[in-house]
Structure 1
Amino acid sequence: MKKALLAGLALTAVALGISMPAVAATATARMSLDVQEGNPKHIAATRFADAVSEATKGTVKIRIFPNSLLGAESESAEGIRLGSIQMGIITSSVFTTWVPQVQVLDLPFLFRDDQHAVAANAVLTKALSDSFREKGFHLLGFSVNGARQLMSKDPIVTPADAAGKKMRVIQSPIHVALWKAVGANPVPIPAPEVYNAMQTGVVDFFDNTATNYLTFRFYEVAPNYTKLSHIYAMGAWVVSEPWWQKLTADQQTAIEKAAHDAQADIVPLQAKQDEEALAKTVAQGATIHEVKDKAAWRELMKPVWAEFTPKIPNADTLIPAIEAVK
């Protein structure tokens, strides 16, 4: 009845020569997250969804699905590309098959600190948007999921401490190469198997984020935690390109602004949650180590840059642009 009424009003307006304002169509998106409720990424996504609904007067609704309910990150990315899922915050390394330029984000010590990683968002988004679009993704930007820190049975503070030890790594050539360069023996193991691998002695140490150290009870099998921040885990905020093209220009603008604001929110949320998480692990017997001088680590990892940057498309322009960000 509502559609018939609108159609009747439109015909009447045409007959009387009156122009009617365009009515934005209602659009609904399912947003995939790999984290649980309460995680900074989930909090930021919720704020994003609320801001979009308010800015578009309810014409765009975003439903958030945490805990990998829509599939693991690789499955969600494929779903977004094909249009069966409309949105997601996906770890950047998942996109290397489609957009090999994102491999630069796995280079060790690319970012100076949290602030540098956040500030680089605009440069990364501008440089990579076209490449994402060509593969079916509209890129809304990047957020910092957290810095990778070392988690081990025995204390690891200097590269010499890691030499000869078995290091669990993600299944990435860059991660394998950088730990070989340090002198460790890298062992690629899927994330769900890390706890058991540490418990059974398959590996001696691994890297992950502070919140996960508590959430997944890694402190039980890796009681030593070392703040190295050698690689930042970056999340790509992506939208299915076909779905994006169905939106009005005003709806697109509202979504982009809300995403940008939410992405900036994650780092302070993450910092607060990391501090609280580490305090809880210390209460359970964990020991936190600080690396005061990272020069030795950087020096040993330099060959990784020399080996991989020639293989990464546009690395010669993208890396200097990131490094120039203040």
Structure 2
Amino acid sequence: MTTASLLTHAPRLAALAAGVAMALGSLSASAAQFNAKLSLDVPEGNTKYEAAQQFADLVRERTDDNVDIQLFPNSVLGGETESAEGIRLGSVQMGIITSSVLSSWVPEVQVLDLPYVITDEANASALSEPLTEALSSSFEDQGFHLLGFTVNGVRELMSSFPIHSIDDIQGKKMRVIQSPLHVDAWRAAGANPTPVPAPEIYNSMQTGVIDFFDNTATNYLTNRFYEVAPYYVKTDHIYAMGTWVVAQNWWKRLPEDYQQAITEAALEVQSRVPEMRQKDDEAALAETVADGATIIDIEDKTPWMEAMAPVREKYIDQIPDGAELVELIRSAK
């Protein structure tokens, strides 16, 4: 075939190659003894996605390709609530679901949303093992097999105005997630909490419906929040935790050695996540600063902790085994 002919047929050849690749991928998946769909609410390249990909690769390797985990990013299988429902029903086999989403089935995980209950990065990284052991049976009762927890990111303030102390947020309109706990915590801190769905944050900032909100570093960049909230304020009030869950009915069908391989792969990747996430957070913030954002570090967080302490104590009493779970978290090092 001449060069000209090759150029003429290049698009057709590329399409054929892509079709062959998809067919081979499909054959690979169908050749596996067990196939799983893993749902993610983040795009490719996000720390959570990269961790899930490493996990899937390790599982394939350690089961001789007999367990094939396919990743579905960008909420293509539905939002986190829909994905959690799918896992319970068995239409989705796995997910790394934000802990607060699961609180309607396992109310104990609300402890992870209590402001300042997690003290620092070391504490956040160490809590997975004891918390998994404590909550596994509660998750199983609701159709989930629990593989552990990792930090999705630290919730920090993002604002249209500089915040140097808790005095600066008094009376200001803050977007909060649609949760009584978050509403109560920020009202106690002196803000005017306004529940707004996540997809409406940017527009609500742009139109002045809200003055500030909280979110994670990677979302500050990928959602271009810095365009409407040029101040990123490090209060470290909540470590947003991702919960690694598997459909219990799928898990029970696995041979014991495959269960062990999956468990070990999850633990290995989870141990890498803190370094991966911190590196990604630093890169994300550096990019926003280059685009005009200002980073403010709140060194003395005591006034914030004291303001929210009554709310924390109120919800500890309401959460099943709340006091014991908080003590377990705080003692994890």
Query: Given the two structures, how large is their TM-score scaled by the length of structure 1?
Result: 0.92
Q: CA RMSD in A?
A: 0.8
1:30 aligns with 2:33: no
How far is 1:267 from its partner?
1.4
Give 1:170-319 correspondences, 5 Å limit. 170-319=177-326
The letter of the residue matching 1:126 is E
1:113 is aligned, of 120, 137, 149, to 120
For residues 114-136 of structure 1, give each alpha carbon's deviation from its aligned partner in whole angstroms, at most 9, with x where no partner exists: 12111000011001100000000
How far is 1:306 from its partner?
2.0
Distance in 2 separating the partners of 1:265 and 1:168: 32
How far is 1:92 from its partner?
0.4
Corresponding pairs, count: 302
1:126 aligns with 2:127: no
The letter of the residue matching 1:98 is W
Distance in 2 separating the partners of 1:80 and 1:30: 10
Distance in 2 separating the partners of 1:205 and 1:266: 28
Q: Which residue of 2 aligns with 1:17?
A: none
1:323 aligns with 2:322: no
Distance in 1 separating the partners of 2:313 and 2:265: 38
Gaps of 5+ in 2: 1-31
Distance in 1 separating the partners of 2:167 and 2:173: 13
Q: Which residue of 2 aligns with 1:51?
A: 58
1:91 aligns with 2:98: yes
1:141 is aligned, of 130, 148, 161, to 148
How far is 1:309 from its partner?
0.9
Give 1:55-94 correspondences, 5 Å limit. 55-94=62-101
Distance in 1 separating the partners of 2:51 and 2:122: 17
What is the DSSP-based 3-state SS (H/G/I as helix, E as strand, rest coil) of the residue aligned with 2:214?
Answer: strand
Distance in 2 separating the partners of 1:240 and 1:62: 13
What is the DSSP-based 3-state SS (H/G/I as helix, E as strand, rest coil) of the residue aligned with 1:183?
Answer: coil
What is the DSSP-based 3-state SS (H/G/I as helix, E as strand, rest coil) of the residue aligned with 2:147?
Answer: strand
What is the DSSP-based 3-state SS (H/G/I as helix, E as strand, rest coil) of the residue aligned with 1:149?
Answer: strand
Distance in 2 separating the partners of 1:83 and 1:47: 23
How far is 1:82 from its partner?
0.2
Q: Which residue of 1 aligns with 2:174?
A: 167
Query: Given the two structures, how large is their TM-score scaled by the length of structure 2?
Result: 0.90
1:154 aligns with 2:161: yes
How far is 1:47 from its partner?
0.3
Distance in 2 separating the partners of 1:220 and 1:81: 38
How far is 1:38 from its partner?
0.4
Distance in 1 separating the partners of 2:327 and 2:313: 15
What is the DSSP-based 3-state SS (H/G/I as helix, E as strand, rest coil) of the residue aligned with 2:237?
Answer: coil
Distance in 1 separating the partners of 2:294 and 2:119: 25
Identical aligned residues as a percent: 59
Distance in 2 separating the partners of 1:33 and 1:82: 17
What is the DSSP-based 3-state SS (H/G/I as helix, E as strand, rest coil) of the residue aligned with 1:67?
Answer: coil
For residues 55-75 of structure 1, give each alpha carbon's deviation from its aligned partner in whole angstroms, at most 9, with x where no partner exists: 111110100000001100000
How far is 1:113 from its partner?
1.1
What is the DSSP-based 3-state SS (H/G/I as helix, E as strand, rest coil) of the residue aligned with 1:313?
Answer: coil
How far is 1:256 from its partner?
0.5
Q: Which runs of 4+ in 1 moved over 4 A?
A: none
For residues 276-320 of structure 1, give each alpha carbon's deviation from its aligned partner in whole angstroms, at most 9, with x where no partner exists: 111111111111001111111101010111211111001121111
